[in-house]
Amino acid sequence: MSDYDFDVIVIGAGPGGYVAAIRAAQLGLKTACVESRETLGGTCLNVGCIPSKAMLHASEYYDKAVNGEMAKMGIKATVELDLDTMQGQRKDAVKGLTGGIEYLFKKNKVEWLKGHGAFTGKDTIDVAGKSYRAKNIVIATGSSVTPLPGVEIDEKVVVSSTGALEFTKVPKHLVVIGGGVIGLELGSVWKRLGAKVTVVEFLDQLLPGMDGEIRKEAAKIFKKQGMELKLGTKVTGVTSKGGKATVTVEPAAGGAAETLEADAVLVSIGRRPNTDGLALERAGLTVNKRGQIEIGHDFDTATPGIWAIGDVVPGPMLAHKAEDEGIAVAENIAGLTGIVNHDVIPGVVYTMPEIAGVGLTEEQAKERGDVKVGKFPMLANSRAKTNHEPEGFVKVIADAKTDKVLGVHIIASVAGTMIAQAAQAMEFGATSEDIAYTCHAHPTHSEAIKEAAMAVTGKPIHI
């Protein structure tokens, strides 16, 4: 292999990087992965997807026991919160899965280069004082929390998502800045465990980028659950003293200021790509206005032999998008054809009910041409109704002429699981009729997708 140390060095062992490294090794390439964290798995496994879902899952059980949902089914219990144990199972979940990646690295002979990686040339990087040369370098350095100017995150009282996963007691009043995915998921966790939760969102609706009707329905449901929503409101300052914080807010359009006293403040106004300390200039690379590394169709950057994937490149910041890009980039490096269909990337918010979407929103679809829309309420779905989960609906958007499915949006208890079939149908170029004539098992929540597809032509059965 001439004077190269590796065929491929991947910088970052998140879902993008570790998957790219494993696939590259599976394809016979000599591969290393640089990671500065103590454990592999990146944001997702350590402080993101996995620990947040561990807390969402556990807090949902607690909530159902406390709020009378279980009693409705004849299960009466005196319930007590043991937050230490709940946090313990979160840590166990993270430990198990991050250790699993280390095992997979060993199994596939991916070498873990421990430390911070920085370019010293177009094909060389430095890690912990040692220089490595590779034919291909994949940048998969992910993202970190976007700070709010003038607001200092101490991870105790004023926290990012990382601190909000680790509270050792339930805050009496949690103010969440940003009504996006993190704010609603982690706001839900602490609301269920007994906190008063106030969400301050700059825009006039929650969850930017999602279908308009879904956003409105979500706000209605969260309000009903007892979350206080301050929409169209901006934060002008946060001060913290003696374990308490004061948040000053005012209407986004201007107006009288108001202060909110809080025991904890979660800053969740988005995430930004990690490129600091990479010395990209030594690799001949720059970042765009949003701090992202621009890539071509094959995940190639402006410098031949350097590739980039995941949160550090444009597109939704999602683990499954990063993973698919990881597989595709490794296949491209190996001379195969690695492709990701960026038009069909599902997104899921793991609240209760869950909120999921794939493809175009109704607003986007209408901008492109005539559409037909079919909707079906979960209230009319036998399984959801039987399970006491009547909230939400399924919406199927199809092209008015060709009937091709352009987008599917769901609010339902298991929307995250249901959306997979919509993504698969869209990947196969399905029409709404294809979905309507596919036999769905009864009684399942997924039948609501079939009925929404039937509603596109006006003929659902159960409404």
Confirm or reject binding of residue 316 to ligand NAI (CB under 6 A): yes
Classify 116 as helix, strand or coil: coil
Confirm or reject binding of residue 345 to ligand NAI (CB under 6 A): no
- Residue 235 binds which of ligand NAI, ligand FAD, none (CB < 5-8 A, kind-dependent): ligand NAI
Confirm or reject binding of residue 112 to ligand NAI (CB under 6 A): no
Query: Considering beta carbons, is residue 240 or 381 the nearer one to ligand NAI?
Result: 240
- List beta partners, residue 238: 247
* 17 CB neighbour count, 10 Å cutoff: 30
- Residue 234 binds which of ligand NAI, ligand FAD, none (CB < 5-8 A, kind-dependent): ligand NAI
* Per-position x/- string for 67-96, each x denoting binding to ligand FAD as judged by CB under 6 A, each - no binding: ------------------------------
Alpha-carbon distance of 329 to 276, in angstroms, equals: 23
- 2's tokens: 């001439």
Work out which of 9, 308, 317, 419 binds ligand FAD, going by CB under 6 A. 317
Sequence-distant (≥ 6) Cβ neighbours of residue 191 within 8 angstroms: 174, 197, 225, 226, 227
Sequence-distant (≥ 6) Cβ neighbours of residue 84 within 8 angstroms: 168
DSSP letters, 197-229, are EEEE-SSSSSSTTS-HHHHHHHHHHHHHTT-EE
Confirm or reject binding of residue 181 to ligand NAI (CB under 6 A): yes
- Residue 436 binds which of ligand NAI, ligand FAD, none (CB < 5-8 A, kind-dependent): none
Q: Which stretch binds ligand NAI (CB under 6 A): 176-184, 239-247, 373-381, 418-426?
A: 176-184
Confirm or reject binding of residue 182 to ligand FAD (CB under 6 A): yes
Give the residue at shortest CB distance from ligand FAD: 142
Q: Which stretch binds ligand FAD (CB under 6 A): 218-226, 290-298, 310-318, 368-376?
A: 310-318
Confirm or reject binding of residue 270 to ligand NAI (CB under 6 A): yes
Sequence-distant (≥ 6) Cβ neighbours of residue 8 within 8 angstroms: 20, 21, 24, 29, 30, 31, 32, 134, 135, 136, 137, 138, 330, 333
Is the alpha carbon torsion for 179, 185, 186, 191 positive or negative?
positive
> Annotation-wise, does 117 bind a ligand?
yes
Work out which of 41, 142, 179, 346 binds ligand NAI, going by CB under 6 A. 179
| In the complex, least distance from residue 56 CB atom to ligand FAD, rounded to whole angstroms | 9
Confirm or reject binding of residue 201 to ligand NAI (CB under 6 A): yes
DSSP letters, 140-194, are ---EEEPPPTT----SSSEE-HHHHT--SS--SEEEEE--SHHHHHHHHHHHHTT
| In the complex, least distance from residue 105 CB atom to ligand FAD, rounded to whole angstroms | 14
Confirm or reject binding of residue 36 to ligand FAD (CB under 6 A): yes
Confirm or reject binding of residue 178 to ligand NAI (CB under 6 A): yes
Classify 300 as helix, strand or coil: strand
- Residue 178 binds which of ligand NAI, ligand FAD, none (CB < 5-8 A, kind-dependent): ligand NAI
- DSSP label of 379: G
Q: Is 388 in the active site?
A: no
Confirm or reject binding of residue 178 to ligand FAD (CB under 6 A): no
Query: Considering beta carbons, is residue 3 or 38 the nearer one to ligand FAD?
Result: 38
> Annotation-wise, does 335 bind a ligand?
no
196, 262 Cβ separation under 8 angstroms: no
> Annotation-wise, does 28 bind a ligand?
no
Confirm or reject binding of residue 411 to ligand NAI (CB under 6 A): no
Query: Considering beta carbons, is residue 189 or 195 the nearer one to ligand NAI?
Result: 189
Catalytic residue among 297, 442, 445, 462: 442
Q: What are phi and psi of 183, to 5 degrees?
A: -55, -45
Is the alpha carbon torsion for 325, 327, 333, 339 positive or negative?
negative
Distances (CA, A) of 126 to 26, 129, 305: 25, 6, 17
- DSSP label of 78: -
Work out which of 34, 55, 193, 195 binds ligand FAD, going by CB under 6 A. 34
Angle at the Cα of 144 from the Cα atoms of 239 and 172, rounded to 5 degrees: 40
Residues carrying an active site annotation: 442
Which residues participate in the annotated binding site for FAD? 53, 117, 141-143, 311, 317-320
- What is the binding site for ligand NAI (CB under 6 A)? 148, 177-183, 185, 200-203, 208, 234-235, 268-271, 316-318, 348-350
